[in-house]
Structure 1
Amino acid sequence: MDRKEDKKLLIKIAQMYYEQNLTQSEISSQLGIYRTTISRMLKRVREEGIVTITINYDTGDHFTLEQELKERFGLREAIVVEVDPAQSSTIKRKAIGQACARWLEQVLLPKDTIGFSWGSSLASVVESLTQAQRPFVTCVPTVGGPSGKMESGYHVNNICYQAALKWGARSLMIDVPAITEQKETRDQLMNSQYYQTIAKAWDHLDIAVFGIGSPEMKGEEAWRGFYGDAVIAELENGKVAGDICSRFYDGNGIPVHTGISDRTLTIELEQIKQARYSIGVAESLEKVTGILGALNGGYMNVLVTTQETAQKILE
């Protein structure tokens, strides 16, 4: 964790303890951090002068954006990264990936089951994870493979494997497509013992980390590669605002039934909502409608994004 992120966390804990009068146990439960760590950090906030008589909130404009997002959408956490809008999408994804990875490693518990989706943002998260020994963590894919062509680094199996490799953890693999050609094929695969093992893990996710898609991403190569042109054409009829793990919803977050819904092998939106932390990692103005739909549907309780995207969401 860099010094700026470390100071933000110390301030947050100081606010919860001194202004909101929460106990150390309550703070530990809300943030998913060990109580002994909370105790040490409260000692540091006094030693470092963050708490004297009042709390020092001097952490920049994005702290205000984070508070606004949390209050408006009832989030447990909002992480807003300051990146120059003129920077490339690669740099922006790397920035939010690093921020998500740092936060994730703070809240991850020793025996957590964590689900990952596919995509460039998720690849950035996993790339930024630090080497650690977490042998009892289980990494699970939450969506099947692509219908079209896609860079192997963005594949959900690779993302799960790389996360497990960084942590010395366990990982499952999914050997089915997200969208089958026939409903009958989907039904057969769903009834297989192999698929049931994956689906059972989805019922017990502690953390879900996912990217967010939107039909407005018409030029996005990875999006087209995952779904293929035929599916993309159907999603561009105006009803769909966005998707999480190939589950589609409108601007109000209400699930949308499409022609591929009965051919889909992926986690349900309700299963994502049940996780202790459901973390959406997404940025870009093209994704704002998809992010808003997900927020309105309550499909995430943590959002990691850029300042530019956060401002557009709040507008």
Structure 2
Amino acid sequence: MTERSTDPDIALMTEIASLYYIEGETQETIAGRLGLSRVKVGRLLKRAQSEGIVDVRVRQHPSVSTEIEQALVERFGIRRALIALDHSDPDRQRHEVCSLVADHLSRTLDDGTLVAVGMGRNVGTVADNVFTQRTRRCSFICAIGGSLRAGEYMNPDHICRRLAARFGGESETLYAPAMVANAELRDAMLANPTVRQTLDRARRADIAMIGVGDLSEDSNMVRMGWFSPQEIAEARLSGTVGDMMGYDFIDLNGQPSQTPMQSRVIGLTIPDLARIPEVIAIASESTKAAGILGALRTGVIDVLATSATNAHTILHLDEASRPG
């Protein structure tokens, strides 16, 4: 047994949290009922949060971001924009953005829904923010191969399994690496019956959930060592501003970048995404405004999830970069 599972306070913290958060009892009333001091009740409630027994989330009122959401919808022809309030801590910002995506999925998913899942920190964080008591018989399928360098948390297979555990249903793995050495090897992998069958099924998804990347020093592709510094520099010089799904490189106008990096990754492409009824793009980092604008200009994004600062920057950048 683990140390936490034998902690005698676990049951007590759970009881106190239930009385306080669900039954609406005051700390003083709980203390009297359980024969504890009010100070100890308060201390155990704090511990319940740190131990993960209690998850407290503050939902922003829809009126806070309605105006800018509507501006994005009208400007880019998307269906919805999920805009989180700004936060100085990047990890907290990511959780705020991804919490909106998790809530959107909770309202959208139904029995039989098939979701194609990308890779990365933002997509992975969505699974951490799913809180629902309703189970669905839906499927989560990898839309890109896996990578040892990405780590378990950011790999689509692990994300799919976590989403299936939270929502119910099942997960499906793409048995292929995310990136290979050259285009010839990629073509050979795509011809493999197992790989082809999984990707064909992913192409028939009802929803795709993807990340939008950039070419900053903290981007996934740089941290994982997928491409050399020279390749990254050349991509920037060629006009590349970001990627969709971790590899489909685009310029500011949403056009495919002319870079050899395009032909080495195994997964769904922008034309594949264009055929999926709802594509959710997630990007919380402040370095990704140009990449998000390029992604929006591809015309395949249906739902955008990002921060308020990014939303304002995207609108201004779009205005400034329009022809004429």
TM score, norm. by length of structure 2? 0.74
Change (3 A) 1:81 1:299: same
Change (3 A) 1:174 1:223: farther
Q: Give secondary structure in 1 for the equivalent of 2:260.
A: coil
Alpha-carbon contact 1:179-1:260 (below 8 Å) kept: no
Listed as ranges, the matches of 1:1-315 within 5 Å are 8=62, 59-60=63-64, 62-84=65-87, 87-132=88-133, 134-146=135-147, 149-215=149-215, 217-220=216-219, 223-225=222-224, 227-229=226-228, 231-245=231-245, 246-315=247-316
Change (3 A) 1:189 1:95: same
Q: CA deviation at 1:196?
A: 1.3
RMSD (Å), alpha carbons: 2.2
Consecutive unaligned residues of structure 1, counting only runs of 5 or more, are 9-58
> Equivalents in 2 of 1:99, 1:259: separation in Å?
35
> Equivalents in 2 of 1:119, 1:77: separation in Å?
22
Change (3 A) 1:112 1:257: farther
Q: CA deviation at 1:306?
A: 0.8
Q: CA deviation at 1:223?
A: 4.3
Q: Give secondary structure in 1 for the equivalent of 2:69.
A: helix
Letter in 1 for 2:249: F
Q: CA deviation at 1:184?
A: 2.8
Deviations 1:84-125, CA, capped at 9 Å, x for gaps: 3xx211000000011110011111122111011111111111
Q: Give secondary structure in 1 for the equivalent of 2:70.
A: helix
Change (3 A) 1:4 1:93: closer
Alpha-carbon contact 1:97-1:128 (below 8 Å) kept: yes
Deviations 1:219-254, CA, capped at 9 Å, x for gaps: 346642162435534433342121112111111111
Q: Give secondary structure in 2 for the equivalent of 1:279.
A: strand
> Equivalents in 1 of 2:199, 2:269: separation in Å?
10
Letter in 2 for 1:114: V
Q: CA deviation at 1:290?
A: 0.4
Alpha-carbon contact 1:139-1:160 (below 8 Å) kept: yes
Q: CA deviation at 1:161?
A: 1.0
TM score, norm. by length of structure 1? 0.76
Of 238-247 and 220-229, more deviation after overlay is shown by 220-229
Consecutive unaligned residues of structure 2, counting only runs of 5 or more, are 1-55, 317-324
> Equivalents in 2 of 1:99, 1:226: separation in Å?
30
Deviations 1:30-61, CA, capped at 9 Å, x for gaps: xxxxxxxxxxxxxxxxxxxxxxxxxxxxx23x
Alpha-carbon contact 2:109-2:136 (below 8 Å) kept: no
Letter in 2 for 1:297: T
